[in-house]
Every structure is written in C-alpha cells, then in structure tokens.
Structure 1
Amino acid sequence: MPTRTAVTVTLTAAERHRLEKMAYGHMTAYQTRKRATVVLLAARGQPNAQIAAETQLHVDTVRTWRGRFAHGGIPALSDRRRSGRPARFTAVQVAEAKALACQLPAESGLPLSRWSCPELAAELTARGITDTISASTVRRWLRQDALKPWQYRSWIFIRDPDFRAKTQRVLDLYARTWQGQPLSAEEYVLSSDEKTSVQARCRCHPTLAPGQARAMRVNHEYGRGGATAYLAAYDIHQAKIIGRCETTTGIVPFMNLVEQVMTREPYASAKRVFWVVDNGSSHRGQKSINRLAARFPTAVLVHTPVHASWLNQIEIFFSIVQRKVVQPNDFTDLSEVRDRLRAFEDRYNATAQPFQWRFTTADLDDLLARLNQHTSAERLQEPSIALVA
C-alpha cells in the first residue's frame, strides 16, 4: 500500500509573523490557535504523526489543515461557509410576527395590555401564521429591529396654549436674560418647589452596612414616624440651596420660604429676584404673583407651563435629595429627617456647581415642530378611521 506524503509547507516572513500571533495570542480562539500551531510545526518539516501527538489532534485533522494552508494560505484556516439547517420560517412569517408585535393586543380583542414573547408565540400559532414556534425564536426576531412590545413609556401632550411663551421666559432666565435684556449682577433667578411627604420610617431591625460581595441590607418592615414637607429655593446661577421643613404644603408654608429667602443677603438688597415655580396650588395663577409682589416688590414670580415641571431646575436637586438623603428611608423620627436635610444643604452648598442646562430655545422649536408634525399626521388619519368605522 503506498504511503501518503505530507504536503510541504513554506512560509514567508509575513505569514510566519501572523501565524505566531495567532498561535500565541491570548485573545485568539482555541480552534484558530490549534490550526496556526499545526502550520508552524509543518513548516519546520515535522511529520503529521508527530504534530498530532504534540497538538493532541487526530492525524487526519493535522493532514486536513496542513493541506488547506498549502493550497489556500492563511485565509484557508477559517471555517468554510456552511449551508446550515434549512430555514423553518419564511420571511413573510417573520414580517407578520413583527407586524403583530407593533399592534396593541386590544386591537385584536385580547384581554392583554401589552405583548410578551410567549403571548406573541401563542397568538401566531392561534392565527395559523406558524405551526409551532418558541418564545425564544420570537424574541430573536424582535431583537433584529429592537422591538420590545413589553415595555412602555408614558407621555403627555402640550395643553397649555401659552406653552412656548412661558417656556421661553424660563429658558431666557436660565440664560440670564429677561424680556430681551441681560440680567445685571444684582438680579437673581431662583427655582422653587415643594417635596411633599418625606416620611420617617423606622426599620424594625437595624440597617446592615455593605460588605464584600454584599449590598446594604434594609429591613422591609418599618414603623411610621410621620411625614414632613421639604420646601426649597435653588439659586441656579450661584448653585446655592435654601430650604425649610413644614408640616404641610400650602400658601402659608410657601410664603414662609419666601420670607426666609428674601430677608437674607444678597436677595434682600437685590434689584430683582425671579422665582421660577410650577402651577401647584401653593403658588398658582395671578393671585400668587400679586401676593408675592405685595409682600416683596423686588420679587417676580414666573410660572412654568402646565405639566412642564421638568423645566424647573429644583426638580433636579430634589432627585439628588431622594437618592442621597431619603433612600433608603430609615429614620427614627421626623426630627432626624429635618436634621439630615439641613445638614445636606450645608454639604451641598459647600461644593455644588450650577447644573449644565442644555435645553435651549432652539431645542424648544425643534420639539414643537416634531409635535406639530405628529398631530398633523393624526388629523389626516381621522377621516379614514371614521370611514372604516
């Protein structure tokens, strides 16, 4: 029986360098490393049996990769394209599954609020679109177009007729401008609001500090120690916070905060102090503007549009308080809550920098244009919907 002669392998300097990187690289795949090693040993003139023993591969495997490299070079060391298992589902079935995921379940008469992958798989089978299909297959299809019908986000349309004018006033103040004129150094802009119902929850067991591979542990059961309202005014250009705790919110507590701020420097001797507030009951409408001006003539109350509290920078500070001071809520009584809030004000004022507010009037115009385009498209669809009905 004739013996097989091993294919001669000759390497260029560039090929040897690349194969050595493949054979000894820490990030190289295992199969690629083995194949490169086979070629390097073959280039040294070693027989296939010796290479197989050294690499712990079958001699036929060594012979295959040695021959593949001799005829195709380094690209031949990669796996050849395989046909794989024939596709079980057609492109039309995949498209119908994605179209179903983009519909509300209620439109199909199902008692569901949103789709999940198992529900979609069951509905595809029930409609006869597919025979049987797994939820993981549906999830893989949806992932191709980043579809996640089990998630949702809430939103609200603008319903304030003066939305743009009110928003621009607030944005101009953030940019130190009022009615087209720049603010002077003796004019200040404050953002103010109330954080309601800051509770004192005394945990039934002490909170455990974090440790190695262990998060902080807070007992689920607690005793109620009452609640307080935290009112604050934030100087957006000086990054200074002035706050107080009250038993409840309302006109009187808000005016107490105004009194506290306006009777201290530099606001007591300021030329004007602008108060940016939302439309809460404590400071709503023209009456609140008149009431504030009557008590402090240099104070100017500026309202954000309805349902636009996100324009009020004090909400950013309140989110910081919620994360760093209130949660996890473990206080013995309300006095501890008040002390913690006052101490945090001092800590914050010592190092705080003004928020980098990036939403400008140009962004506002873009937002309104997108909303207008959306509502215009809805108006065009209304007649067709009526005809179908």
Structure 2
Amino acid sequence: MLVALAVPVVLTASERHRLKKMAYGHKTPHQARQRATIVLLAARGCSNARIAAQTRMHVDTVRTWRGRFAAGGLPALADRRRSGRPPSFTTLQLAEVKVLACQLPAETGTPLSRWSCPELAREVVARAIAPAMSASTVRRWLKADAIKPWQYRSWIFIRDPDFQAKAARVLDLYARTFDGEPLGEDEYVISSDEKTSIQARCRCHPTLAPGQARAMRVSHEYQRGGALAYLAAYDVHRAKVFGRCEQKTGIAPFMNLVTQVMTTEPYASAKRVFWIVDNGSSHRGKKAINRLTTAFPNAAMVHTPVHASWTNQIEIFFSIVQRKVVSPNDFTNLTQVRDRLRAFEDRYNATAQPFQWRFTTSDLDDLLATLDRHTLDRQQESSVALAA
C-alpha cells in the first residue's frame, strides 16, 4: 500500500517573517492565522496528521493549504475568487433607489420632510421598483456613495453686496493690518457683542454630582428666576475679556461696555482701538459709528458683513461661556448668574491665550470663488431646464 508523502515546504527568510506576523498578529483574521500556522509547522517538517492534531483542524484542510502554499507561495493563502450567489437586484434598480434618495420627498408627493432607510425601502416597493427590499439593503447601497438623505444642514446665502470688503477688513485686523498698513504697538483690536437672555433656572430638585458610572443629574423641572444680557469685549491679540451684565441690550448698555473698556489702560491712551461688531440694533450703521467716535475719538467701529457673525471672535468666547458657565442652567437667582460670570472672566483672563485664527483673506477669496462657481453652475442648469 502506497502512502502519499506530505508536500515539502521550504521558506525564505522574508516568507517566514511575514507568516509569523500573520500567525501571531492580534489583528490578523482567524482564517489567515490558521493558514499561516499550518505553513510554519509544515516548514519544520511536521506531518499533516501531526499538524491537524496540533491545530485541531481536519487533515484534509491541512493538506489543502500546505499544497497551495507549496504551489503558489504566500498569495495562494488568500481565498480564491468565487462566483457567489447571483445578485438579487439589477444595477438599474440600484440606480433608481439612489435617484429616489437624492430627491426631496415633497417633490415625489410623499408627506415626509426627509427620507429614512425604512421609508425608502417602503417607497421602493410602493413604486414597484422592486417586489421587496429591506432597509439594510438600502442603507448599504447609500453608504457606498455616502448618501445620507436623513441628514440636513442649514445655510444662508451672502446678501451683503460689500461682503468681501467688510470681511477682508475684519480678517486683516486679526492679522494686525488695516488699509494695508501694519498696526502699531499702541493700536488694539476689540471684538464685541451681546449674549442675550441668559436665564436663571431654579431647579425644583438639587443637582446631583457625578459619581462612578453616573453622569451629573439635573432636574428637568425648574422655575424661572429672570433673565439678563451679558455684554463682552474681547481683546483679540491680548486675549483679555471685559464683560458686564445688563437687564437688556440696547444703545445705552453697549455704550456702558465701551466706556468700561475705553476708560482703562492701555485703551484710554491708545492711538486707535478698533471695535469689531455685528449689525445688531445697538451698534448698527453710521449713527453708531458717529456715536462711538464722538464719545471716544481714538475708537473706530468696524462692522462685520450682514449675517456673518462667524467672523467675530467674541462668538468663540460666548460659546465657551455657554459650555462652561451656563449649561446646565441651574441658578437660584440672577445674582448668582452675575457672580459666576464675573468670576469666570477672572479665571479666563488668568490663563487665556489668543485664539488661533487661521481663516485669512486668501481663504476668503477661495471661498467666494467657489461660491461663484456653484452659482454659475446652478444658473446654467436652470437655463438648460427651461430650454428643455
């Protein structure tokens, strides 16, 4: 009786190194680890029966992978291409589902604001695109093209005709230039705005501190203890904040903030102090500019473009206040709100560094050029649609 001899396996140093990484790697798939182990044991001269006993695999499995490696090397350890199950859906059906997902439900007569995968699967069946389809199939198809119809982002189009000039002036001030000239050591840039309606919500039950495997707990029920406005001015390059609390916003509260800053050094004796503000009612237009320069001749008001508060750095500070001071809102009265805001100013000024503002006038030009291209493309699409 003839006994088939095991196929001899000889490894190069490189192959041995790669096989060891496959056999002992923590992230190696289980099947690849098994195959690498078979080859390494075969290279030591072990018989198929011994390898099967040691790896707890069938001897036919050991013989198969030993033979494949001997014939084809490392690439032969990968799975061979298989035909697989015939596809359940055609490429046309796949395309129709993606087209449907890229349409607003209202345009198709469906009473929905956004598509979800279950709703799309239901609509596919209702439109007879396919006799049946699961939400997981829709989700897998959409994921391939990163289509997410259940998400949305709001946007606002540029309406200010002088957007580029106004935004560039603000960005230049952040870079310590104005009208093409660098700012001097005695010139400062202040970013200012109001954070309205900070409420004192008196919780009906005490807030519970966090513990092991437990987050802070805040009672949902509360009583209103009033609201106040927080006005703040932020020195962009010195990272210093001046704030004050008022009963409401308006021209007088804003000028109180200006007086608070401009009567302290180094601003009182500065050559120029630029005040960057948005187009709120308390500091809007030419009258606000004249009012500021009349009260303080060395102050200059610079307006951000309309609907472009993101160019005002004070909004970054207000977001910090919202996260670290206001939320979760649990105050007994407005006095406690005022005290905490004042204490936070001192804490912030003790350690603050200027914000690393990276959006420059060059980035602004690139952004506007991109918007112009999108606008032109949309106009051309509209023209083609009307012609058709």
Question: Could you say which TM-score interval applies, normalised by the shorter chain?
Answer: over 0.9
Partner of 1:191: 191
Per-residue deviation, residues 120-162 of structure 1 (Å, max 9, x unmatched) = 1122222222221111111111111111111111111111112
Per-residue deviation, residues 299-350 of structure 1 (Å, max 9, x unmatched) = 1111111111111110011011111111111111111111111111111111
Partner of 2:134: 134
Partner of 1:289: 289
Partner of 1:46: 46
Checking the alignment, whether the CA contact within 8 Å between 2:9 and 2:66 is kept in structure 1 is no
CA distance in 2, matches of 1:186, 1:85: 76
Relative to the length of structure 1, the TM-score reads 0.94
Checking the alignment, whether the CA contact within 8 Å between 1:274 and 1:301 is kept in structure 2 is yes
CA distance in 2, matches of 1:21, 1:56: 21
Checking the alignment, whether the CA contact within 8 Å between 1:6 and 1:48 is kept in structure 2 is no
Q: Percent identity?
A: 74
Checking the alignment, whether the CA contact within 8 Å between 1:6 and 1:63 is kept in structure 2 is no
Partner of 1:10: 9
Question: Where do 1:1-389 residues align within 5 Å?
Answer: 2=1, 4-14=3-13, 15-386=15-386
- 1:65 alignment partner, SS class: helix
Checking the alignment, whether the CA contact within 8 Å between 2:272 and 2:300 is kept in structure 1 is yes
Relative to the length of structure 2, the TM-score reads 0.94
CA distance in 2, matches of 1:375, 1:40: 63
Amino acid at match of 2:173: L
CA distance in 1, matches of 2:364, 2:42: 69
Checking the alignment, whether the CA contact within 8 Å between 1:274 and 1:302 is kept in structure 2 is yes
Q: CA deviation at 1:21?
A: 3.3
Q: CA deviation at 1:3?
A: 5.4
CA distance in 2, matches of 1:176, 1:296: 21
Q: CA deviation at 1:386?
A: 4.4
In 2 relative to 1, CA 274–57 (structure 1 residues): closer, same or farther, beyond 3 Å?
Answer: same
Amino acid at match of 1:352: A
Checking the alignment, whether the CA contact within 8 Å between 2:9 and 2:39 is kept in structure 1 is no
Checking the alignment, whether the CA contact within 8 Å between 2:6 and 2:48 is kept in structure 1 is no
Q: CA deviation at 1:13?
A: 4.1
Q: CA deviation at 1:102?
A: 1.4
Per-residue deviation, residues 145-197 of structure 1 (Å, max 9, x unmatched) = 11111111111111111212211221222122222222211111101000001
- 1:230 alignment partner, SS class: strand
Checking the alignment, whether the CA contact within 8 Å between 1:170 and 1:302 is kept in structure 2 is yes
Amino acid at match of 1:123: E
Q: CA deviation at 1:256?
A: 0.8
Structure 2, unpaired ranges of 5+: none
Per-residue deviation, residues 59-111 of structure 1 (Å, max 9, x unmatched) = 22222222223322332222222111111112222122112211111111221
Report how many aligned residue pairs link the two structures: 387
Checking the alignment, whether the CA contact within 8 Å between 1:239 and 1:352 is kept in structure 2 is yes
- 2:376 alignment partner, SS class: helix
Checking the alignment, whether the CA contact within 8 Å between 2:11 and 2:43 is kept in structure 1 is no
Amino acid at match of 1:24: Y
In 2 relative to 1, CA 40–201 (structure 1 residues): closer, same or farther, beyond 3 Å?
Answer: same
Q: CA deviation at 1:209?
A: 2.4
RMSD: 1.8
Amino acid at match of 2:6: V
- 2:365 alignment partner, SS class: helix
Per-residue deviation, residues 201-250 of structure 1 (Å, max 9, x unmatched) = 12222222223333222222222211111000001011110000001111
